[in-house]
Amino acid sequence: MKNYLQLTRHTGNNSLFLAVEMSLISTLRGSPFHIHAEGLRGTGKTTIMRSVKMMLPKITRIKGCLYNCDPADPHCPQHKHMTPEEIASLGTEEIPVPFLEISHSAKIGTVAGTIDLSKLTNPNQPEAALLPGIIPQAHRGIIFIDEINRLADTSPEITDVLLDAMGTKPGRVQIEETGLPVVEVPVSASVWAASNPDEEPGPLAEIRRQLSDRFDLVIPIGRPSTAEEVVDILETNETTQQQNDRELSPQERSRLEQLKNNLESIAHQDELKMPEYLTNFLANLYINYNLESLRALEAIRQAALLHAALRKRNQIMISDIITVLPLALYHRVSSATLTEIMNTVNSNKMIGSSEKKNEPALRLPRLFQQKPTQSQPDDTPPQRARSLRNLPEDELIKKEKQ
């Protein structure tokens, strides 16, 4: 597996690094944050996502609990009714944040849960018990699904399970097995998915719109755009291929450890609060652009919060929203609407100065007071909005600091 820090960052994939770090922080905070990387084969999206496995912090669970019960808040069928004393007597253990994969050929029993054959066939004490599947076992962690568009196309029943698990935060999963009572467990896991919208069966938004909308962010992955970036990728690939079998050097290990500790410490900080004028801004965005789901606003809010935390700022700024806006709306509005929204937001000359003067409440909502004239109805699946892939985030921050 490639080292997360060795992977080349370029204009086409930068947002994905940001998204995985934001989602990891949110997962550690107990609040799932679902991300979907869309891009051509060979753009390295799955490599980036999988490489996070090397820097997963640890969580504490009740010893041996396959559902990863938090000793302070047990939720599984076996532990949820126990007293704190009984829980304490079971002991605890530390495991890395779960990172489990669902392949597009997975079966429902593997994903949700099935009858535990080892317990059923135990000659000393046969009993009918359930074995939790991948989703309940990923509680407090990450579920990774490559080719999610194919999964949605070929396994509608697994898609339904995912819709339940991602529907609310935390979600839930039902484990059903003939002859046993249906068991429902809460699940708090972030879903990370990847797909190639240009390959069969096409973009997820066209196959199962509902599932596509469950993702807080969709990150369009592009090719590197300069020759220097390509050279860098080739050189890194060459080095990592030569080094693939060797252990990480002490320096690499310590840098990775540093990044892990950094993300963990951000996750333990108090959550920032969205200032009122930015909430107003989002409300106006929703009304004036006829956004289809309130999920979009929730996603923007949560993403902006995480982005500000990742940038180690103690307040959320409009630049946080502008950075995450295209990723939260990419799969939810047409590219024409998205372009229009971004143009309106970016062209507002008052953004920098008004935040500084602390009087933005008067100005920002006015941005959207008039109904846009050229916005299109969102009944068609969103088009790619490639020009918005990369935002001039650094420039914005510079502008805000002026």
Q: Should residue 65 be labelled a site residue for Zn ion when binding is judged by CB under 5 A?
A: yes
Which 3 state secondary structure label does DSSP give 338? helix
Nearest approach in angstroms of CB 82 to Zn ion is 9
331 contacts Zn ion (rule: CB under 5 A)? no
Select the residue interacting with Zn ion from 35, 37, 54, 76 (CB under 5 A): 76
Instruction: Look at the block and give the residue holding tokens 């106006």.
Output: 284
User: Which position among 69, 152, 263, 274 is part of the footprint of Zn ion (CB under 5 A)?
Assistant: 69
Structure tokens at 65: 């609990």
Q: Among 75-83, 91-99, 148-156, 171-179, which window interacts with Zn ion (CB under 5 A)? A: 75-83
Number of helices (H), then strands (E), belonging to the chain: the values are: 19, 11
Q: Is 79 in the site for Zn ion (CB under 5 A)?
A: yes
Residue 125 Cβ vs Zn ion, minimum distance, rounded to whole Å? 20
**Longest alpha-carbon distance in the chain:** 76
Instruction: Please tell me whether residue 215 binds Zn ion under the rule CB under 5 A.
Output: no
Q: How many residues bind Zn ion (CB under 5 A)?
A: 5
Residues 6+ apart with CB under 8 A from 338: 326, 329, 330, 382, 385, 388
Q: Which stretch binds Zn ion (CB under 5 A): 58-66, 110-118, 202-210, 366-374?
A: 58-66
Q: Give the C-alpha separation, 277 to 266, whole Å.
A: 25
67 binds Zn ion (CB under 5 A): yes
Complex with Zn ion: residue 104 or 172, whichever CB lies closer: 172
Which one, 79 or 331, has the nearer CB to Zn ion? 79
For the sheet with 142-146, list strands across it: 99-101, 142-146, 190-195, 35-39, 217-221
The phi, psi pair for 119, rounded to 5°, reads: -80, -35
Residue 23, Cβ neighbours under 10 Å: how many? Answer: 26
Choice between 69 and 194, CB closer to Zn ion: 69
Residue spans of beta strands (DSSP E) within 188-250 = 190-195, 217-221
Minimum separation from the CB atom of position 342 to Zn ion (A): 45
Determine the interface stretch with Zn ion among 72-80, 88-96, 243-251, 332-340 (rule: CB under 5 A). 72-80
Q: How far is the CB of 79 from Zn ion (least distance, A)?
A: 4
Q: Looking at 13-21, 59-67, 145-153, 251-259, which segment touches Zn ion (CB under 5 A)?
A: 59-67
Q: What tokens appear for 61 in the block?
A: 């669970």
Regarding 189 and contact with Zn ion (CB under 5 A), the answer is no
Q: Does 87 bind Zn ion (CB under 5 A)?
A: no
Nearer to Zn ion, 140 or 301 (CB): 140
Closer to Zn ion at the Cβ: 187 or 303?
187
Chain positions contacting Zn ion, by CB under 5 A: 65, 67, 69, 76, 79
